[in-house]
Amino acid sequence: MSVRWSVAAVLLAAIITIALVFAFVQPSTAAERIADGVSAGGVDVSGLTLAEAATKLRGTQATRVARDSVTVRAADLTWRLEASSASVRLLVPRTARRALLAGRRAVGRPVDVALAVTYSKDAVNDFTKRIDRRLRRKPRDARLKISLTSVDVVRHKSGRDVSQVPLRREIGKALKDPRLPRVLEPELLRPKPEVTTGKLRDKADTVITIEQSTFTLRLLKDGEVASTYKVAVGQAAYPTPSGQYAIGSKQVDPVWSVPNSPWAGELAGTTVAGGTGANPLKARWMGIINGVGIHGTDASDSIGTRASHGCIRMNVPDVVDLFEQVPVGTPVLIV
């Protein structure tokens, strides 16, 4: 007996399910009316036939959907996307049928269905790209503005950008629903630079400037000249490079790796141990770029002249004094 009842229960459930499905998917008739409490995009269409609902939606929503524009404001700039430019169109019969089917499923409960609206996604994409191109600004690193006797820090600037994907999504929502705000103000992104003012300010504590025309090396501390030294610079045939560099290495009693150059004679391509009489790099070495650096010399009479093969020579007491005050990474301006 229990088996019979189980079979009967299953059959009954199947019949009810089929009836419900049939009720939801059965073809609508011209006379069928949308259930009470149903609206489409905020417009009450309850009790109307599909044709009547379509007429009402066409009169209240179709023109509005095709006319409304969307405005985007950001960074005191404004862009407007006209509905006509985005080919916005309300699918009236589909919206009416959507309301009818929703009313069947609602079983008397109030329900509001979304309008069936189409628009050109390509037009929206082009619109947001245009906004992004106009808004986008790369971040600017802080930089040192070094003169021979002073140092200033030019402050960094954050970048500016807008995330296109969320913006496209919000524009699409607005185009499809006239009740949503027509003015959008997307959040601006602020990309940070790699070199900020604070980080660079630490590097600006110590700066070296070299004025070749007066054979003067200046040590700047906290933006002001702290010490001044006389130096020798490169000969006309082997000039000291001009530009802004940084101290890349430091050595006490440096080994001299002799360049493969005719002026080096029989020592070319060899190395000379540090601290020896044959080594012209006396006491200290502060490397700058491509084998050029600041070092001591025992040829004191060359100080104040163009005598070196590109390096900056200093008297030994001076180079020792400078060495103690200059960390690796110290900016070097040579003019």
Query: Which residues belong to the active site?
Result: 295, 311
For the beta carbon of residue 238, count every other beta carbon within 10 angstroms.
17
Judge contact between 311 and 259, C-beta under 8 A: no
Tokens standing for residue 303: 């100080």
Strand partners, 38: 111
Strand partners, 246: 331
In terms of DSSP bridges, do strands 183-184 and 70-74 run parallel, antiparallel, or are they unpaired?
parallel
82 CB-near residues (< 8 Å, 6+ apart): 69
14 CB-near residues (< 8 Å, 6+ apart): none
Closest C-alpha among 213, 249, 250, 220 to residue 145: 220
| DSSP run (H or E) holding 118 | strand 117-118
Tokens standing for residue 159: 């970048």
Tokens standing for residue 280: 């012209």
Distances (CA, A) of 204 to 140, 152, 197, 253: 18, 8, 10, 27
Lookup result for tokens 């496209």: 168
Judge contact between 234 and 309, C-beta under 8 A: yes
Radius of gyration of the chain (CA): 40
Closest C-alpha among 268, 251, 250 to residue 259: 268
